[in-house]
Amino acid sequence: MAQDQIRFHYLIETPDDPGRMAVKIATDQSTGTFTDLPGETADVKARCAARVVSVTELEPAAVPAWPTDAPGPFRRAGVVIDFPLESIGTDFASLQTIGINAFYATRGLTGARLLDIELPSAYASHPGPQFGVEGSYRLCGLDYPAKAPIIASIIKPSLGLLPEEVAGIVRELCEAGVDFIKDDEKLTSPAYSPFDDRVAAIMRVIDDHAQKTGKKVVYAFGLSSADPEEMLRRHDVVVKHGGQAAVVNINSIGYGGMTFLRRRSALALHAHRNGWDLMTRHPAIGMAFRPYQKIWRLLGVDQFQINGIAAKYWEPDESFLQSFADMAEPIFSPSDRALPVCGSGQWGGQAVATYQGTGGALDLMYLGGGGIHGHPMGAAGGVRAIRQAWEAASSGIALATHAQNHPELAASLVKFGKK
């Protein structure tokens, strides 16, 4: 791909000819017309017109992705289109408007999905992660290259706890031996738990534990807001109290909010992608994770939640493994990698499948909620059980075998193993 082009990979479904539709997409999203207008000179086309690179027909769909009165068959194709960098630039709002949003509006498509974006080196000007994979390990006081995942937990119940009640759970988790704790993405600053009060209560516990043990557990506070100034104010409260991380609901704050925050941030930014499911649940509509995560990594997220094996939500294991593989690839350099965070119903029983499915990866965060809080031996037992599961996974030992002389793992298998 030429460095003066941005390449988009689309999946289209149409009752029309896919090649003709590809040309329509390219023209609609660039110069804007099939016909020659007085102002549409050869120079304008040369500078700004998108170009169809390839059209590859796939198996037709018996039923269209989107309801239509058009007769079938509904033909599917992979379409690759190059857009001149000069006509889009390096601003992601412009890229979203021209190369993505306009695509979905094309008349004649019964299915429309963005599969990938290939970005020229000009996009390396975006800041990317401030901490990334290695920095996340360093914040947690762990060596890198990683010898084991970062073991993390999330406050449960997600909502309803007063600041001092959350602090009590944080104390228990610190004593249990976790490396990282986070607010649930739903928690920001409700009336019963004002953000400033929660930060102060939690950081007292974090600092007290650090004074006693020498280990400062990292806590990520949910600072998301539609108001960038309020989000920055919350950021500054965390920094003032010695905090090190924040949970950011990236789809809620948008590209502009992330740009504003990343430019000023001293915290590791833990991205929650809630709302991505709306974009991706149907395989012929929306956006794959591959292009999505490239944008947010370049904008500056340090850690990225991607669900996990046997997740409690809808996402199949294959989607998680592909998301993990996508995040393992540098975009421009190894420094633009964000730390993958495996969550959603994780309790340790998925450690072997996660380890094997990711090719033996250990540089990840393994996030347990109920699998830690709900352990029969308490949170400490839950944390130990997860660590024991990862010891077994990385040593090639079956969980049942390892559990024979590890009671915490054995109890975990009994309680959660049927799920």
Bin 345: left if φ > 0, else alpha if -120 < ψ < 50, else beta.
left
Predicted structure pTM score: 0.96
Q: Which strand (E) or helix (H) includes residue 26?
A: helix 18-28
Structure tokens at 248: 């950011």
Give Cβ neighbours of residue 87 (< 8 Å, ≥ 6 apart).
30, 47, 48, 50, 98
Q: Which helix (H) or strand (E) holds 271?
A: strand 268-272
Each of the 419 residues of the chain gets a pLDDT tens digit; together they read 799 999 999 999 999 999 999 999 999 888 766 556 666 777 777 778 899 999 999 999 988 999 898 888 899 999 999 999 999 999 999 999 999 999 999 999 999 999 999 999 999 999 999 999 999 999 999 999 999 999 999 999 999 999 999 999 999 999 999 999 999 999 999 999 999 999 999 999 999 999 999 999 999 999 999 999 999 999 999 999 999 999 999 999 999 999 999 999 999 999 999 999 999 999 999 999 999 999 999 999 999 999 999 999 999 999 999 999 999 999 999 999 999 999 999 999 999 999 999 999 999 999 999 999 999 999 999 999 999 999 999 999 999 999 999 999 999 999 999 76
Q: Which residues pair with 269 in a beta bridge?
A: 246
Smallest CA-to-CA distance from 347 within 295, 310, 316 is with 310
Around Cβ 378, how many Cβ atoms within 10 Å? 15
What is the predicted pLDDT for the residue at 419?
64
Cis preceding-peptide flag for 228 (omega within 30 of 0): no
Look at the alpha carbons of 68, 70, 74, 76 in this order and tell me if their dihedral is positive or negative: negative
Which tokens go with 221? 């506070």
* Integer Cα distance of 331 and 130 in angstroms: 15
Domains and CATH numbers, the chain: 5-125 (3.30.70.150), 132-416 (3.20.20.110)
Q: Residue 245, SS3?
A: strand
Q: Which pLDDT belongs to residue 39?
A: 67
Q: What is the pLDDT of residue 411?
A: 97
State phi, psi for 197 to the nearest 5 degrees.
-65, -40
**pLDDT, tens digit, for every residue of 169-179?**
999 999 999 99
Distance CA 307, CA 201 (A): 29
Tell me what pLDDT residue 47 has. 77
- SS3 labels along 188-200: CCCCCCCHHHHHH
